[in-house]
Amino acid sequence: MTLFDTDRRRTDEIVGGSDVGSRALSVTAVENDFVEGVYEKLASVYDLIFGPALHPGRLQAIQRMALVPGARILEVGVGTGINIGLYPRDCSITGIDLSDSMLEKARDRVARQCLRNVRLFQMDAADLRFRDESFDIVYAPYLISVVPDPVKVAREMKRVSRTGGRIVVLNHFRSPNPILSRVERGLSPFTVHIGFKSDLDLPAFLAQAELRPESIEKVNFPKIWSLVTCTKE
């Protein structure tokens, strides 16, 4: 399913609902220490496990950004830097991550590829140390479903995006299918140990983060991941 801003009625169906502003986003709660520990363990195998399978979504996200020369991009949850080589070299890339082990991999990748347009920082996604409206595009690839407070992270992303800039979220969200939804809720306490909550509620997340999507596209195979593109008004 692909939703574009020309189909606003169907987009409203996704983000609507009487209780979206207050309901819990997931049955699973995590803290930063737990998240950091998970990714410290995953750092050495992340590219192997999550590289090829999730790569189509990464490519589609870059295309959806419609990058222009000189664009300032913040990647929230840069991880091992697996996306870094996908950006045009005439853009300015800033990447942040909580895990030092993941950032070490990213720094190695930047050095190997001789990328001079990239800077990397260790930082909490819920407390971005950047000024308001610092970036043209703020992008969170496969991150939102593992952070302790997805809404706080999204609001920080929105804060540091310029007015008219794009906020892009690439992530797995809970299925609207009632049967699959129950399965994902049951699995979430286990999948969080490999880096994501399987039951994150997309409508509630969007409503509580005050994000209005221009497009929501299913990506990868199977198409159980969503690419959500918003513009800061």
pLDDT in tens, 21-68: 889 999 999 999 999 999 999 999 999 999 999 999 999 999 999 999
pLDDT at residue 9, rounded to an integer: 47
Q: Which residue has the tokens 């830097």?
A: 81
Q: Compute the distance between CA of residue 165 and CA of residue 192 in angstroms, rounded to an integer.
A: 31
- Predicted TM-score (pTM) of this structure: 0.91
> For the stretch 57-96, what's the b/e string if a residue is b when 16 or more beta carbons lie within 10 angstroms of its beta carbon?
bbebbbebbebeeebbbbbbbbbbbbbbeebeeebebbbb
Two structure tokens written together for 60: 């589609």
pLDDT at residue 18, rounded to an integer: 65
pLDDT at residue 151, rounded to an integer: 98
Element (H, E) at 228: strand 225-231
Sheet strand arrangement including 118-122 = 2-3, 213-219, 225-231, 161-172, 135-141, 72-76, 92-97, 118-122
pLDDT at residue 22, rounded to an integer: 87
Residues of the chain with pLDDT under 50: 1-10, 12-13
Element (H, E) at 92: strand 92-97
For the chain, domains (ranges, CATH) are 2-231 (3.40.50.150)
